[in-house]
Amino acid sequence: MKIFTKTTLLVALFNAIVGVLFGAEAQQADVVVVAATPSGVAAAVAAARSGANVILLEEKNHVGGVVAAGLTNTDIYKKAAVGGLFAEFVKRVREHYVQTYGENSEQVKVCQGGHMFEAKVAEQIFRDLLAGEKNIRLIEKKRVISARVVGTDGIERQAERGPRINGSQPKDFGPAVKLVSITAEDQADPRIKMEIRAKTFVDATYEGDLAAMAGVPYRVGRESRETYSEAHAGKIYLRFKDTNPGPGSTGEADDGIQAFCFRMHVTKDQSNAVPIEKPAAFNRDDYRMMLDDMRSGKVTKLSKLLHAFPMPNGKFELNNAHPAGDTGVPSESFDLAEENWTWPEADFAERARILQRYWAHSEGYLWLLQNDPEVPPSIRDEARQFGFPKDEFTDNRHRPHHIYVREGRRIWGEYNFTERDAALDNATGLPRRKPDGVAVAEFGFDSHSVHKYDPAHPGVREGYIFIEHQPLQLPYRILVPKRVDGLLVPVACSASHVGYQTIRMEPVFMALGEACGIAAKTALDARAEVRSVDVPAVQREILKRGGVILYESTPIKPEGL
C-alpha cells in the first residue's frame, strides 16, 4: 500500500509537469485578446468592465505597444473626436504629472493636458488600467503559434492560414469557420505551450497575425488608383500637404507598405544620458542623400533632419522628418523604406532581422549626425547634446523595445474603408454617416514613403501622402472579418492602403479596441456571434462610457452650390 501510494504520487506529479510543459489542459475565458497594444489593452479593459472574464496575451514583457516604446506625441488634432478609454488614459497621464510634480510644474505644462508623456509613464498607466480590473489575466512572453476552428460540419480542426488576396474584393471568400482556440508557446522555453479557449477572440496585433492564422483573408500592399477610384492610391509622388500628384505618379498597385522607424526618446540632461553608439552594422551609404543635402547647402539646421518633440523631464521624442513642401528636404531621415515590405507576413526570425536592421539605421543616423566630418560643425554640436535617457527602456539598453509598425496586413472585412469614405455629401457638406459607426478618424490620410528617395524625382519621396479631411465615422463592419466567426480585428482592420492611413493612429486603435471589447460581451450576453451583434446596443454602451461615435465639424460648402 505504501509503495502504491508513492507510485501514484509520482505519476500525478509527472502528469502535472507534462500538463504545464505541453499544455494538456486548456485555459478558458469569455474573451481572449492577443497583443497588449493600446488597442489590446482597451479591448481587454472594455470587455472586463462589461463583466467578461478576459485573458490578455502579450508576446513581450511590456504592455502598451509602440506607445510605451516611444510614440508619445499623440497623433490627434480634434481631441474631442476620441473619448472613452483614450480620454481616461490622457486624464491619468496628466494626473500622474500633477501628483508627482505639482499642478504648476514644468512637467504638467509640457505634458499638454496629458497628450505628451514619457514612455515609461505610458506603460505604467496601461498596466494600472489592466490591474484595476480583477477579471483580466495578463499573460506575458507568450507567442501565439496556431489556432483551431470549427467548420460548418461541426468538426474542430487546425486552422488553415488565410489567403492573401490583393486588389479588388472577390465575390466569394470560401466556407465559414469559427475560431475556438489558440495555442501559445513560452518565449523562454518553446516546449512550454498553452492552449486557450474562448467565446470571442480579439486580434490587436499590428500585423493581423492571429487573423491570418485563423484563416481570415487579407491584403498587403497598395491598390491601384482604379481599384476603388481613389485619387491618391498606388504609386504616387506628392509634395507634403499637396493633393495634386506629380510627375511619375502612375497610380499602379504594388506590394509596398510605408516605411517604419523607431520613435526614440533622447535627453540633453547629461546626468540622465547614455551615449549614442556607432552600430556594428553601421552603413554610411544609407545616408548619402542626406549628406548630399548638406553638401549642397540645402540643410543647415538639425531641425531640418528630424522632428524633436519636447517631453516632460527634459526629454524629446524623435520622429522622421518628412520632405518639406517648399524645399523638399530632407531627402532621408529616420524612415527606411522598402526593407520592411516582408514584415507583415514574416516569421519571428525574419522580423527580428528586420528590426535589427532598422535599429542600426536609426541609431546610425544619430551617430552620423554627431560624428561624421562631413556634417556641418553646427549640426554636429547640436546633435551631440542628445543621449538616450537612463530611466527609459532600462531592460533594453535604453533603446525602444518596439519598432513603429505603421502598416501590416489589412483584413478583408464586412466593410472596406477607402479614401472615398471622405467624400462630402452634397446636401450636408460633410462625409456620409455610417449607421454602425463606433469610432471617429480625424487625422489626415497620412502615409510615409513607400520607396526610397529617387534623385530623378527631387523634393519628394514616393508614397508619401498627407490628405486632410473632415472627421470620418468608422463602421463596426471593418472590425468583422470575412469567413471567420468568433473574432474581431481592431488594428489590422478592413481598409484599402489609403483608407487605412487615417485609421492607423493609436487613439483610433484604442477606440476601436474599446468597441471590440464591448461588442464581445454584448454578443456573449445575447448568445450571438459578434458578426450579428446588436450594434445599436454597442453604440449606446460606447456613448455611456464617454466614447465618440460621431464628430462633425463645420460643414464645408460643396463646389457648385
Q: Does residue 96 fall inside a structural domain?
A: no
Q: Does residue 205 fall inside a structural domain?
A: yes
Instruction: Look up the domain containing 318 and give its range.
Output: 265-389
- The CATH number linked to 67 is 3.50.50.60
| C-alpha dihedral, 129 to 130 to 131 to 134, nearest 10° | 120
**Same-domain pairing of 295 and 361:** yes
**Same-domain pairing of 272 and 206:** no
66/407 Cα distance (integer angstroms): 13
Burial 178-193 (b: 16+ CB within 10 A, else e): bbbbbbbbbeeeeeeb
Report in angstroms the alpha-carbon separations of 347 from 213, 219, 245, 351: 12, 17, 36, 6
Q: Does residue 235 fall inside a structural domain?
A: no
Q: Which of 389, 423, 458 is the last residue of a domain?
A: 389
**Same-domain pairing of 202 and 57:** yes
Q: Does residue 92 fall inside a structural domain?
A: no
**Same-domain pairing of 284 and 211:** no
Q: Which residues of the chain have pLDDT under 70?
A: 1-24, 554-561
**Same-domain pairing of 381 and 479:** no
Q: Does residue 371 fall inside a structural domain?
A: yes
The contacts found for 100-107 with CB under 8 angstroms, 24 or more apart, are 106/312, 107/312, 107/313
Which pLDDT does position 161 carry in this prediction?
97
**Same-domain pairing of 49 and 147:** yes
Report in angstroms the alpha-carbon separations of 560 from 431, 552, 557: 17, 22, 9
Q: Does residue 248 fall inside a structural domain?
A: no
**Same-domain pairing of 60 and 149:** yes
* 511, 551 Cβ separation under 8 angstroms: no
Provide the residue count of the chain. 561
What residues contact residue 248 under an 8 Å CB cut-off, 6+ apart? 235, 237, 456, 457, 462
Work out how many domains the chain is built from and give that number.
2
516/43 Cα distance (integer angstroms): 6
pTM, two decimals, is 0.94
The candidate with the shortest Cα–Cα distance to 496, out of 220, 108, 272, 194, is 220
Q: Does residue 35 fall inside a structural domain?
A: yes
* Beta-ladder partners of 31: 54, 200
**Same-domain pairing of 65 and 184:** yes
**Same-domain pairing of 62 and 191:** yes
**Same-domain pairing of 71 and 167:** yes
The verdict on whether omega for the bond into residue 279 sits within 30 degrees of 0, i.e. cis, is no
3-state secondary structure of 435: coil
Which pLDDT does position 325 carry in this prediction?
83
* Per-residue cell: 64: 502598451
487-488 vs 136-140, strand pairing mode: unpaired
233/418 Cα distance (integer angstroms): 10
421/237 Cα distance (integer angstroms): 22
**Same-domain pairing of 140 and 71:** yes
Q: Does residue 176 fall inside a structural domain?
A: yes
**Same-domain pairing of 530 and 445:** yes
